[in-house]
Amino acid sequence: MKRNQKIGLICSHGGHFTELLQVLGAFEGYPTFLLTYKEVSTSNQKSAYYIANIGKNPVAFIFGLIKILFIFLKEKPTILFSTGSEIAVPPFYLGKFLFGAKLIYLECSAQVYHPSLTGRFVYPITDLFLVQWEPLLQQYGPKARYVGGLI
Amino acid sequence: MIFVTVGNHFQEFDRLLKKVDEIAPRIPHEIVIQKGYSKYIPRNTKHFDFVPMDEAMNYIQRSDLVISHAGIGTIILCKENGIPLIIFPRRKKYGEHGTDHQVEIAEALKERGDKNIYILYEENRLEEKIMEVVGKKEMVEAGNRGRENLIRTIKEFIEAFQE
């Protein structure tokens, strides 16, 4: 029985968004919402919240943070899933510590040997941490898992 | 049709666009370019800055060849649809990206021997490479085991948390 779960799907535009679309099958049957950047490539998505790119400047970051807080107060996510990039960091910390959400992070398949900055930020608090290239396991701690990649 | 895309990275990738535009009159295929944030305006091909995801997917599915930076989205969609792909990595030394991680991706794919994927570093060899691989679809095993494993792992995690 699929009860009481609300899954927040978080990603920036471009390849991160394509990666997220690839694994949507994992969330079938659960209520979900999408949190992404407002860009041409991410337009016209169902149950989507759009924010301006938080990586651009501190003002955009603060505005993004406030908006994410309001979205979470409304949606009350119990699980957050992200394919990166930096857009994952504020919602993961807010989700974990204010809402007790479980966190799932899928490191981008662009990271073959080196961890992404986002990955390093969220690794300590993430409950299921997946990488897409085996050599990358050595760069993270024992929590990281490799079961395969999208490319 | 040949679809050229350089992703949504903020640095320009004019090196590729200029070369494609230069050789376009000699290529017997329609060429469409998603130029992203690049400054160069192609004169000999159809082009636009960005389109929504479903339209980009549509362009890729209809292509006989895709040429792109080592962008994950493009690689995934080309592999999924069995479309030949020339990967022309963005390089740090030309101010096309902050790091050379696109070379790492390209080399990792080359080492694994992925079918339908061709790695190219010299723009001067682009024309011959296009003519060599356009429309050349090598048979690949259907399905994506990595994707299936990822979906299953995530699903199991959510279900365990449900109990």
CATH label of the domain that carries residue B105: 3.40.50.2000
- Cα A11 from chain centroid (whole Å): 5
User: From the candidates A34, A53, A151, which should be mutated to test the interface with B, based on the most B CB atoms within 10 A?
Assistant: A151
Which chain B residues contact residue A37 at CB under 8 A? Answer: none
The verdict on ipTM greater than 0.90 is yes
Give the one of A5, A42, A147 whose C-beta lies nearest to B53's C-beta: A42
Q: Is A35 helix (H, G, I), strand (E, B) or coil?
A: strand
Provide the angle, in degrees to the nearest 10, between the axes of the packed helices A15-22 and B53-61: 80
Tell me the longest C-alpha to C-alpha distance in chain B.
63
Q: pLDDT tens for residues A50-102?
A: 999 998 889 999 999 999 999 999 999 999 999 999 999 999 999 999 999 99
Which of B95, B13, B8, B20 shows the shortest CA–CA distance to B56?
Answer: B8
Which of B67, B64, B68 shows the shortest CA–CA distance to B83?
Answer: B64
Per the structure, how many domains does chain B have?
1
Domain that holds residue B70: 2-162
What class does CATH assign to A7-146? alpha beta
Which chain B residues contact residue A21 at CB under 8 A? Answer: 53
Q: Where are the domains of chain A?
A: 7-146
Walking along chain B (163 residues) 10 residues at a time, the average pLDDT comes out as 96 98 98 97 98 95 98 96 97 96 97 96 98 93 93 96 71
Which stretches does DSSP call E strand in A38-127? 48-51, 79-82, 102-106
Q: Is B103 helix (H, G, I), strand (E, B) or coil?
A: helix
The mean pLDDT value for A28-34 works out to 97
Which of B11, B128, B125, B118 shows the shortest CA–CA distance to B68?
Answer: B118
Mean pLDDT, chain A, whole residue set: 95
Predicted TM-score (pTM) of the model is 0.95
CA A25, A30, A31, A35 dihedral sign is: negative
Q: Compute how many other C-beta atoms are within 10 angstroms of the C-beta atom of residue B57.
A: 17
Please indicate if any CB of chain B lies within 8 Å of the CB of A137.
no
